[in-house]
Structure 1
């Protein structure tokens, strides 16, 4: 067996152990959405990760600096040409219920994720490269892969790969775990009121050292103006992205007790198309709709420059980004020609579905509608409660001709976006089926040569652009509203903020 990779750093443990063991108060954080379940395999939502990154640990960890370091695994080796990974696990770790963490915990977590329970959630498709997990001893496990997955180690740092306690779940059941989660993270959940708030307390026995804060309360505030008012009044210490509208940046920065902290983000926005029925089943119509909209003007005017126009559904930080790929030009005359060629009559109706609580994107949608009306389309905007749009309308294929898709791209690898958006049968691809695209998406997952894989991902981006599967709009900076009493806060590009070292000044 050839040893291809070995990590034996303890960066995360050292950093967390440096945190003071003395508690220093509490903070309140405004989050725009209640995920509805705290089980790692039930969710894809960034707002889940903003909270649960503090409740759970993965085998690996990636912080705001985007460097991958050990988490619950202290080291790992890639063996058998990447088709087997051996993890050495951290000893002396306990879950919040005092259950010990060991190899059985890891095997249980992935058996569950890849089994019947995981099949009902959105996370399993991220980990289908894993065949099974075998226990070597109490603190060593082998992951056997169907094919090498060049993004797997990053995936193990978040979402569905968070390690869960076997005994607790077997005793209490999955439904109980949804609302009473237990992990090994630096904070433990002590109270959850759906659609209202969730309260965390410091876990003094965390393997990396106790947090500086003694408690954190997340309030679910969907209305941006309310969240900003609470920040300025001091009743909220931190407002998470994507809550803050661009139009409120100046008023926050001019307030004596708050400021905006902006960081480049992998989050991208697009309006995706129903490619199966209606006028947008015609590729010419989709291209026309894209060319009818001046996306740079939207970034400049609506986002106040806090973003960049994109040519494919990824930002510049994504592996697979092609800087030579130009967006469709703003060309309303050509758009009208294409619509005429496709036989679209002036006044034809078109519906855009959006998240109702996203005030910035609601403004963007209004501008898009205005541009499309300029080429003869009669556009209506249909707002939905976010969970309804994401859990019901889109996966069931019940959208209008266009629908909002915001994607976090948290792996900073186009695979995590492209596979879930374009592969036949995936949750976020209710309409399209393209055998050539499926083959390319499957092939790139098995390529271990970094340059070859990047080239194929760039080709996939170009292919999807030519097919006009969505109107790529922009990558947007993550905007955090930070109260003056918060110290040691480091903004995370992917919104997955770890609060271990955050402090408050009274």
Structure 2
């Protein structure tokens, strides 16, 4: 070996050895190392250590260069993307336009995916490779959100990805990306470990080794932080925030995020699988009646949930987007709690004696998710709806929901673009796989040609204010009027760290080593 290369390698190894390791305990259950298997925040956070997107975002969610150095519209239906030169995958293979082409062919078509990335890719009808580092994305209609769509899907290499399945990424065989960390190990349901990529195009990362531990139990996650077993945790339970703030050497940080916690009722099927009369006999689905959905919404004491259950760390919601996001409507207020009026609506709809339903949801994915489900059951009992709460680990919840077995479910969604587009596509739009619309994970069976037409117009509208006006119109129809989904609140994201690391909170919920820095 050339002596200069040897000395350089030794110096790099010494630097890496001097860097600290980082252990993060996450409350969100990640389900695969395959970056295209499941459009789920914990998965995106996990896999982004190894794989990178064309466009990245800053702490406020604004697009910044990633594997793409620049992007610009060329006419109304074409975007030209210039790729970053000199980037290599972890095995030394150069990154080129062909890898982007391969990625965009695979990502929407992963076998068994509970929630596909198709909505971000299918608007591109043709990919033109200009040269090894230049592409043009062509579409039938203008796609003003193309830069934000490019933040959502990770780029994989054709060499390491061709013929590979999700299990090959989980084993590490195909887990070869361009990211700041290299795959070390992955144990489903437990943890993943990564080693620093000293040759990363942005320079060596801050930590020599990173471990993400999945600790969905809130008490256990907080205990691990207090004991020093981990350096940081996310999804800090609201009940523990005040106590942790009083512990020397622990810092708590919070930021209102994009995450909406909401309910999706089965508004479409004549017979719904978990709705019966009070004697347990199947009945025609009462959730099809908007008066029943309105009664259920009016019976939710959102302020009480925010004050007592969330310790003030949530923002009651009557719409999909938080204040400041494109699509937020200042004229839409959260549904006012009124159990008496809700009971009148139930009587008017023909359900004076009530009915029974099962409320499904995760018990380890969102802040206080099981507690919220139990609170809803108590609130709905006051208007005659007897609720069986069936919560489960999120890995089970997301795995079973593609079978479309829910009548009412509690879940969450965070827009990947910072606008209302993906929320509307997933919650309000008629499922149309050819467009990448809809998802079986949140199937409410709602379908409205009027809102679909408005959404098509919005997704092709270049001017942000005009696009926002269309978003607001859809939300007034599909959410405020029809209650295709029932918003509860926007979640405040909370992290806690020990004194040896510093964290820069983002608007997104994702928790990644790249946002941490060691404190010397």
Q: TM-score, normalised by structure 2?
A: 0.87
**Alignment equivalent of 1:451, drawn from 451, 465, 474:** 465
Residue 321 (structure 1) aligned with residue 328 (structure 2): yes
Q: Identify if the C-alpha distance between structure 1 residues 163 and 118 changes in structure 2 by more than 3 Å, giving closer, same or farther.
A: farther
- Cα pair 1:110 1:133 within 8 Å, conserved: no
How far apart are the structure 2 equivalents of 1:173 and 1:473? 37
Instruction: Find the residue that maps to 1:130 and give its secondary structure.
Output: coil
**Alignment equivalent of 1:290, drawn from 280, 290, 297:** 297
How far residue 317 of structure 1 moved from its aligned partner, in angstroms, is 3.6
Residue 213 (structure 1) aligned with residue 207 (structure 2): yes
How do 1:169-180 residues align onto structure 2 when only pairs under 5 Å count? 169-170=161-162, 175-180=167-172
Residue 423 (structure 1) aligned with residue 429 (structure 2): yes
**How well do the aligned residues superpose, as a CA RMSD in angstroms?**
2.1
How far apart are the structure 2 equivalents of 1:175 and 1:163? 18
Aligned position for 2:278? none
- Cα pair 2:22 2:513 within 8 Å, conserved: no
- Cα pair 1:34 1:194 within 8 Å, conserved: no
How do 1:180-329 residues align onto structure 2 when only pairs under 5 Å count? 180=172, 181-241=175-235, 244-276=236-268, 277=272, 278-329=285-336
Aligned position for 1:9? none
How far apart are the structure 1 equivalents of 2:41 and 2:384? 37
Aligned position for 1:157? 151
Q: Identify if the C-alpha distance between structure 1 residues 115 and 288 changes in structure 2 by more than 3 Å, giving closer, same or farther.
A: closer
How far apart are the structure 2 equivalents of 1:318 and 1:40? 26
- Cα pair 1:103 1:138 within 8 Å, conserved: yes
Instruction: Find the residue that maps to 2:358 and give its secondary structure.
Output: strand
Stretch deviating more after TM superposition (85-94 or 445-454): 445-454
- Cα pair 2:20 2:518 within 8 Å, conserved: yes
How far apart are the structure 1 equivalents of 2:79 and 2:137? 5
Instruction: Find the residue that maps to 1:493 and give its secondary structure.
Output: coil
- Cα pair 2:231 2:498 within 8 Å, conserved: yes
**Alignment equivalent of 2:364, drawn from 337, 354, 357:** 357
How far residue 117 of structure 1 moved from its aligned partner, in angstroms, is 6.1
- Cα pair 1:27 1:216 within 8 Å, conserved: yes
- Cα pair 2:355 2:386 within 8 Å, conserved: yes
Aligned position for 1:442? 456
Q: Identify if the C-alpha distance between structure 1 residues 351 and 117 changes in structure 2 by more than 3 Å, giving closer, same or farther.
A: closer
Residue 100 (structure 1) aligned with residue 94 (structure 2): yes
Instruction: Find the residue that maps to 1:353 and give its secondary structure.
Output: strand
Residue 146 (structure 1) aligned with residue 154 (structure 2): no
Stretch deviating more after TM superposition (495-504 or 412-421): 495-504
How far apart are the structure 1 equivalents of 2:28 and 2:309? 23
How far apart are the structure 2 equivalents of 1:41 and 1:205? 25
Gaps (5+ residues) in structure 2? 1-14, 273-284, 432-437
- Cα pair 2:245 2:251 within 8 Å, conserved: yes
- Cα pair 2:108 2:117 within 8 Å, conserved: no
How far residue 236 of structure 1 moved from its aligned partner, in angstroms, is 0.8
Instruction: Find the residue that maps to 2:373 and give its secondary structure.
Output: helix
| 1:76-118 deviations in Å (ceiling 9; x for gaps) | 220121x111111111101111111011111111122355769
Q: Identify if the C-alpha distance between structure 1 residues 142 and 111 changes in structure 2 by more than 3 Å, giving closer, same or farther.
A: same
Q: Identify if the C-alpha distance between structure 1 residues 473 and 87 changes in structure 2 by more than 3 Å, giving closer, same or farther.
A: same
| 1:255-300 deviations in Å (ceiling 9; x for gaps) | 2232321012111101221112422111100001111122112111
Instruction: Find the residue that maps to 1:301 and give its secondary structure.
Output: helix
Instruction: Find the residue that maps to 1:42 and give its secondary structure.
Output: coil
Aligned position for 1:345? 352
How far apart are the structure 1 equivalents of 2:46 and 2:113? 24
| 1:226-267 deviations in Å (ceiling 9; x for gaps) | 0100000000111123xx221111221122232321012111
Q: Identify if the C-alpha distance between structure 1 residues 285 and 117 changes in structure 2 by more than 3 Å, giving closer, same or farther.
A: closer
How far apart are the structure 1 equivalents of 2:345 and 2:228? 53
Q: TM-score, normalised by structure 1?
A: 0.90
| 1:187-209 deviations in Å (ceiling 9; x for gaps) | 11111111121001110110001
How far apart are the structure 1 equivalents of 2:375 and 2:148? 37
How far apart are the structure 2 equivalents of 1:367 and 1:298? 8
Residue 481 (structure 1) aligned with residue 481 (structure 2): no
How far residue 451 of structure 1 moved from its aligned partner, in angstroms, is 1.8
How far apart are the structure 1 equivalents of 2:17 and 2:184? 20
Instruction: Find the residue that maps to 1:40 and give its secondary structure.
Output: coil
Q: Identify if the C-alpha distance between structure 1 residues 220 and 499 changes in structure 2 by more than 3 Å, giving closer, same or farther.
A: closer
How far apart are the structure 2 equivalents of 1:76 and 1:271? 37
Gaps (5+ residues) in structure 1? 1-19
Residue 46 (structure 1) aligned with residue 41 (structure 2): yes
Residue 381 (structure 1) aligned with residue 381 (structure 2): no
Aligned position for 1:433? 447
How far apart are the structure 2 equivalents of 1:270 and 1:80? 39
Residue 85 (structure 1) aligned with residue 91 (structure 2): no
Q: Identify if the C-alpha distance between structure 1 residues 342 and 26 changes in structure 2 by more than 3 Å, giving closer, same or farther.
A: same
Aligned position for 2:483? 468
Q: Identify if the C-alpha distance between structure 1 residues 118 and 449 changes in structure 2 by more than 3 Å, giving closer, same or farther.
A: farther
> How many pairs were matched up?
479
How far apart are the structure 1 equivalents of 2:380 and 2:263? 13
How far apart are the structure 1 equivalents of 2:294 and 2:106? 42
How far apart are the structure 2 equivalents of 1:429 and 1:500? 34
